[in-house]
Each structure stands twice: as structure tokens, then as C-alpha cells.
């Protein structure tokens, strides 16, 4: 029997606000435990939460970027459960009335686009973190993360393969980073994803029983965990067993999912409206203002790059995967760089160097203005294309101007015909046999001679002049 796979994702994204969701504590990552806390976020009695306006704005921004309906009226709710990292005994979240509903994200699979529907986006606060490291029979709790604003994005069960799931996550990450609401760091947990998955025989109308997989902190793990879980479910059904609705954990070292808790053990959260917060009423004019400030989104930027600069789709896709990369590209083009030439250098040399150091483009000292300076030196014939690669790397490492590097290292291209002729003569004199063979018709030896001349000039001879003069010499 053939089975169809159904997947729906629940994504948590930490918002890039400076302060927490309901108090003024800092959200900076990696500080000493419990140094970023106050009576509000550690749940002292008698305190009152105050809504962080920027967090609301970021969720609206996200909603607009992924085609949601923004609710003019929404409400916070208490989600009750007991856990040591949750001092209040409840998490402030949203339940029946989330900030955003509907919407979709477009992904490209096997060359065609597919819309993945969104159910809702709501706002909530993060919990603290339990640390089980000490030697003793105890655990520690760090509440720095307690109260940090989290946005939860829930998809419709529209995803059909593990590949689509990871494509969706990648696309969402690109969008969130583009609009500057989340840093997308999956390793540090600022972007996390739980996957709901079920299988059903093709043709069956009802969905099968689903399991929920937690703890996947990379695109690779999302695909692997889903792959494993789908195989497991199909095997259970083929063996005439039943899928139990449960939460499973992905173990990346073992490469399997393991049962964490079944539906019977699931929490009853006893949601109710948060009595300490007034409902959120969002003005249409505020939504319009946020919409007007929204930056160009990756998909439309990609299409524009194709049209405006005549770039191939592949280039446009790569160059719009990060906002800073797209801006670097356009910066260089505005300064006079030829779009395809700029793209080739960026996708080749620049990405290679950045990847080697695992760096983002913002962190590199090489700016578009210096890079375009290099392109001009090539165009003018001051340096050869080959030398330019070395200069590029030097610029990348030192942040120096190309002219400075070329002068310091004596890399100026030799274009003086007399100088080049001298070198050619030397090379020909040293290789009389090859000259004879060439003249007897072995024309491919041309490459050998050019190579020798470039070697003798340390790559600085102008290749065009070398070729012209060499031909003249050899054929007369």
C-alpha cells in the first residue's frame, strides 16, 4: 500500500527586541545566569506585566510579510502548567484570539512553486532554562530567557515531504531575517521548530493519527527526523499496529525519534484570558504605517534582480537569500559594477572566503566601493584577471584599497610591448625544440609558451598582448 505524508509545523521565533515581553529586562544572549531578571519575569506575586509594543509591531510586520490577516482585536491568555523553568506556573500566550490569522509562504519544489498555508501567528513569552550539569543531585534554573518575546507560527497541514518542510523553514528564516524580527539562529535556539506528522493510505479522506517531533535544531535534522518518523509510522501500520498520538524527541546522535509523552500524559493547560492585561486593539492606521515601512521581500527582490539586472534565476536566488548580501550587490552595481560580473565575484570568491571563516557579509572589511575599484583596475588593464583574484583576497583580509595593494606588491600588469617581447624571446630561446614542433604544425604548444611567459612575469603580462606577439614571432 502507498502512503501519503501529512506534515504541519509549529515554529517558535525569538523576537529581536532589546527588552522582554512584559518587563524592561534585557534580552541579550549569553549573560551570567539570572542577571537579567526582575520581579515581573521571575513571577513575584503582586506585580503587573506591561506589553512590549515593539513585540506587537514585529508580529504585525511578520504577518504582513507572510500575507496574514492582522486582527484588530486580540487577547493574551494564561497557559497553565507546572515546570521549574516557569516560576509563575503559567505562560502568558494567546489562545482564541491571536494577532494574525491565515496567510501563506511560497516555496519552490522541483522547479514549481507551492503555497504553504498558515493557520495563525501569536505572541507569547519564553520560559527559563533548566541546567543539569552540576555534580550534585540537583538542577539549576536560569531565568534570563524567561519572558523573552516569542512568536509562534503555525502552519496548515499542507506540507507533504520532509524536503518541503525544510524548504519552508529555510524560506521562513530568510523572510524573518530580511524584515529584522528574528536572527534565525537555530543553534542558539532563537528559531525552533516542532513538526506534526501523520501518514494515510492514498485516497483516504481523513488524516491519520499524528505525532509531534520536538528538538530539531537544524534543517538537516528536520529532514532526517521526519524521514525516520515517516518510515516508523508506515512500518507500524504495515504490521497492523496503531499509531499512538504522542510527542516524540529527535535524538540526533542515535538518528531516531523516541517517545516523550503520550496524549494521556499531555497537559491540560486550562487556558483562560489573562486578567492582568487589557485586550490588544490595533489601529488600521498603525498597520498601514508598518506596511509602508516594510522592506522589499526576498521573492520580489529576486524577481526584480532578474528583470532589472538581467541576472539568471540562480544568481538572483542566491543574492537575495540574505538582505545584507542583496544590499552589498546593489551597492556595487550602483557604483558602476557590471551586474553579472559583480554576481560572479560574489558567488565565487566572496562566498568562498566568507564560508571559510563562517562569517556573514556584514562582518567582512571589504566594501562594495573597494571592490568596484578593483573591477575598474581590471577594465583599465592595470591588472590582469588572474592577479585580481589575489588582490581581492588581500582586500578581503586587510580592508585596504585595491590601488594600495597593487602598488605595494608591484602587481601592475605589463603592457609594454618591448618588455613583453623581451620575455618572449627568452622563452623561445630556452625551448628551441618546442618552437620547431610548433612550426611543424603542433599548434597546441601555444598554451605551453603562454604558460612559460606568464610564469616568467609572475602572471603580470597582459595575456592579450602576449598572445598577439607570440603568434607573430612563431609564425614569421
- For Zn ion, which residue of 5, 13, 23, 172 counts as binding (CB under 5 A)? 23
CA atoms of 98 and 403, how far apart (whole Å)? 57
Helical axes 385-398 vs 402-409, angle rounded to 10°: 110
Residues 6+ apart with CB under 8 A from 399: 365, 366, 367, 370
Nearest CB to Zn ion, comparing residues 44 and 369: 44
* Helix residue ranges per DSSP H, 399-462: 402-409, 417-430, 432-439, 445-456
Q: Is 474 in the site for Zn ion (CB under 5 A)?
A: no
Residues 6+ apart with CB under 8 A from 162: 7, 222, 223, 224, 226, 227, 230
Nearest CB to ligand ADP, comparing residues 176 and 395: 176
Nearest CB to ligand ADP, comparing residues 17 and 119: 119
Options 195-203, 228-236, 338-346, 382-390: segment touching ligand ADP (CB under 6 A)? 195-203
- For ligand ADP, which residue of 207, 219, 286, 448 counts as binding (CB under 6 A)? 207
Q: Is 55 in the site for Zn ion (CB under 5 A)?
A: no
Nearest CB to ligand ADP, comparing residues 156 and 349: 156
Options 3-11, 22-30, 311-319, 344-352: segment touching ligand ADP (CB under 6 A)? 3-11
Options 12-20, 67-75, 194-202, 384-392: segment touching ligand ADP (CB under 6 A)? 194-202
Burial 38-57 (b: 16+ CB within 10 A, else e): eebbbbeeebebebbebbbb
Q: Is 157 in the site for ligand ADP (CB under 6 A)?
A: yes
Query: Which pairs with CB-CB distance under 8 Å and at least 24 residues apart come from 126-134?
Result: 126/14, 126/150, 127/83, 127/85, 127/86, 127/91, 128/85, 128/86, 128/87, 129/85, 130/84, 130/85, 131/33
Nearest CB to ligand ADP, comparing residues 122 and 301: 122
Q: Is 197 in the site for ligand ADP (CB under 6 A)?
A: yes
- For ligand ADP, which residue of 198, 233, 320, 413 counts as binding (CB under 6 A)? 198
Options 4-12, 132-140, 267-275, 326-334: segment touching ligand ADP (CB under 6 A)? 4-12
Options 96-104, 149-157, 300-308, 328-336: segment touching ligand ADP (CB under 6 A)? 149-157
CA atoms of 185 and 382, how far apart (whole Å)? 43
Residue 338: exposed, middle, or buried by beta-carbon count in 10 A (0-12, 13-18, 19+)?
middle
Nearest CB to ligand ADP, comparing residues 93 and 302: 93
23 binds, among ligand ADP, Zn ion, none (CB under 5 to 8 A by kind): Zn ion
154 binds, among Zn ion, ligand ADP, none (CB under 5 to 8 A by kind): ligand ADP
Residues in the chain: 476
Query: Which residues, listed in sequence order, are joined to residue 74 by a DSSP beta bridge?
Result: 280
Evaluate whether 48 touches 27 at the Cβ level (below 8 Å). no
- For Zn ion, which residue of 9, 11, 25, 55 counts as binding (CB under 5 A)? 25
- For ligand ADP, which residue of 78, 210, 301, 323 counts as binding (CB under 6 A)? 210
Options 5-13, 286-294, 337-345, 397-405: segment touching ligand ADP (CB under 6 A)? 5-13
Pair type for strands 280-281 and 112-125 = unpaired
CA atoms of 153 and 13, how far apart (whole Å)? 8
Contacts with ligand ADP, residue ranges (CB under 6 A): 6-10, 154-157, 196-198, 207, 210
Contacts with Zn ion, residue ranges (CB under 5 A): 23, 25, 38, 40-41
Amino acid at each position: 500500500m502507498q502512503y501519503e505524508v501529512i506534515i504541519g509545523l509549529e515554529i517558535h521565533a525569538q523576537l529581536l527586541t532589546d527588552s522582554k515581553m512584559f518587563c524592561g529586562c534585557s534580552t541579550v544572549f549569553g549573560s551570567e545566569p539570572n542577571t537579567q531578571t526582575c520581579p515581573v519575569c521571575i513571577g513575584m506575586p503582586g506585580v503587573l506585566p506591561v506589553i512590549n509594543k515593539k513585540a506587537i509591531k514585529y508580529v504585525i510586520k511578520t504577518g504582513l510579510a507572510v500575507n496574514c490577516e492582522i486582527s484588530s482585536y486580540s487577547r493574551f491568555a494564561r497557559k497553565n502548567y507546572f515546570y521549574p523553568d516557569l516560576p509563575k506556573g503559567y505562560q502568558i500566550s494567546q489562545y482564541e484570539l491571536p494577532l494574525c490569522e491565515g496567510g501563506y509562504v511560497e516555496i519552490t519544489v522541483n522547479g514549481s512553486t507551492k503555497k504553504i498555508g498558515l493557520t495563525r501567528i501569536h505572541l507569547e513569552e519564553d520560559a527559563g532554562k533548566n541546567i543539569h550539569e552540576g555534580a550534585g543531585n540537583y538542577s539549576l534554573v536560569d531565568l534570563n530567557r524567561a519572558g523573552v518575546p516569542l512568536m509562534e507560527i503555525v502552519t496548515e497541514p499542507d506540507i507533504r515531504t520532509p524536503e518541503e518542510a525544510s524548504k519552508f523553514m529555510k524560506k521562513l528564516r530568510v523572510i524573518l531575517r530580511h524584515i529584522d524580527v528574528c536572527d534565525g539562529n537555530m543553534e542558539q535556539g532563537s528559531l525552533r521548530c516542532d513538526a506534526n506528522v501523520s501518514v494515510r493510505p492514498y485516497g483516504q479522506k481523513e488524516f491519520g493519527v499524528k505525532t509531534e517531533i520536538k528538538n530539531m535544531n537544524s534543517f538537516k535534522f528536520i529532514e532526517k527526523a521526519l524521514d525516520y518518523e515517516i518510515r516508523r509510522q508506515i512500518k507500524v501500520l504495515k504490521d497492523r499496529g496503531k499509531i499512538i498520538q504522542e510527542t516524540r524527541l529527535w535524538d540526533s546522535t542515535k538518528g531516531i525519534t523516541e517517545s516523550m509523552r503520550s496524549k494521556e500524559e499531555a497537559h491540560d493547560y486550562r487556558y483562560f484570558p489573562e486578567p492582568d492585561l487589557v485586550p490588544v486593539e490595533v489601529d488600521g492606521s498603525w498597520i498601514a504605517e508598518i506596511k509602508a515601512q516594510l522592506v522589499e521581500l526576498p521573492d520580489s527582490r529576486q524577481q526584480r534582480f532578474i528583470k532589472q539586472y538581467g541576472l539568471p534565476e540562480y544568481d538572483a536566488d542566491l543574492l537575495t537569500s540574505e538582505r545584507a548580501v542583496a544590499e552589498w550587490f546593489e551597492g556595487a552595481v550602483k557604483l558602476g559594477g557590471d551586474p553579472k560580473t559583480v554576481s560572479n565575484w560574489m558567488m565565487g570568491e566572496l562566498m568562498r572566503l566568507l564560508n571559510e571563516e563562517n562569517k556573514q557579509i556584514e562582518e567582512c572589511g571589504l566594501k562594495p566601493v573597494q571592490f568596484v575599484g578593483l573591477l575598474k583596475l581590471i577594465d583599465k588593464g592595470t591588472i590582469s584577471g588572474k592577479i585580481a583574484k589575489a588582490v581581492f583576497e588581500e582586500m578581503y583580509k586587510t580592508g585596504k584599497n585595491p590601488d594600495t595593494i597593487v602598488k605595494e606588491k608591484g602587481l601592475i600588469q605589463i603592457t609594454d610591448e618591448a618588455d613583453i617581447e623581451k620575455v618572449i624571446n627568452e622563452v623561445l630561446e630556452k625551448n628551441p625544440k618546442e618552437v620547431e614542433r610548433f612550426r611543424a604544425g603542433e599548434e597546441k604548444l601555444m598554451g605551453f609558451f603562454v604558460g612559460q611567459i606568464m610564469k616568467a612575469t609572475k602572471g603580470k603580462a597582459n595575456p592579450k598582448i602576449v598572445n598577439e606577439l607570440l603568434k607573430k614571432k612563431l609564425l614569421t
